Amino acid sequence: MENDKEFIPQKGGYRDLIAFQKATCIYDITYYFAHKFLDRTDRTVDQMIQAARSGRQNIAEGSAAATTSRETELKLTNVAKASLQELLLDYEDYLRQNGLVQWGISDVRTVKTRDICKRHNDTEFYMKQIPSRS
């Protein structure tokens, strides 16, 4: 075995993954949203925050597990995806229960929002923006 090759290649560079960066933004925004717009006694507060946290944490865990198990990496990535899907449903429920309209995929606001989100992966950007949003 050559000296420059590691027995177990190092993985876990999850902080550089766009998915991890986006999941961090989602977690921080959800934490803010849940505490600002939901009743603190509502179980949905904890459920939404935990779903967002699970999405983020499982991306990190999956990346770390990639060192020894591609299968575990994929399983944890799927758990992250499922958690974020659960969170999406909670946001959809909030809109429906509060008589708010969910923007369509081609709505100009959706297109503009997606464009902004494509350009920003840093949670600080969003945390500066959201206090001025309804």
CATH number for the domain spanning 82: value is 1.20.1440
Q: What is the pLDDT of residue 92?
A: 98
- What is the token pair recorded at 2? 């050559």
Question: Helix, strand or coil for residue 109?
Answer: helix
Listed in order, strand segments (DSSP E) in the chain are: none
Q: What is the pLDDT of residue 114?
A: 96
Q: What is the pLDDT of residue 67?
A: 82
Instruction: Please give the residue range of the domain that contains residue 71.
Output: 16-122
Does residue 7 sit within a domain? no
Q: What is the pLDDT of residue 116?
A: 96
Does residue 52 sit within a domain? yes
Task: Encode pLDDT of 80-102 as tens digits.
Answer: 999 999 999 999 999 999 999 99
Does residue 72 sit within a domain? yes
Q: What is the pLDDT of residue 66?
A: 84
Q: What is the pLDDT of residue 1?
A: 45
Q: What is the pLDDT of residue 117?
A: 96
Q: What is the pLDDT of residue 118?
A: 96
Domains identified in the chain, total number: 1
Please identify every stretch of the chain with a pLDDT value under 50, giving residue numbers as ranges.
Answer: 1
Contact 121, 25 (CB under 8 A): yes
User: Using N-to-C axis directions, what is the helix angle for 18-37 and 43-65, rounded to 10°?
Assistant: 170
Q: Cα angle at 110 between 108 and 112, to 5 degrees?
A: 70
Does residue 43 sit within a domain? yes
Q: What is the pLDDT of residue 12?
A: 60
CA–CA distance, 102 with 92 (Å, rounded to integer) = 7
Core vs surface per residue 54-92: b (16+ CB within 10 A) or e: bbbbbbbbbbbbbeeeeeebeebbebbeebbebbeebee
Does residue 24 sit within a domain? yes
Does residue 85 sit within a domain? yes
Does residue 133 sit within a domain? no
- What is the token pair recorded at 63? 């990346």
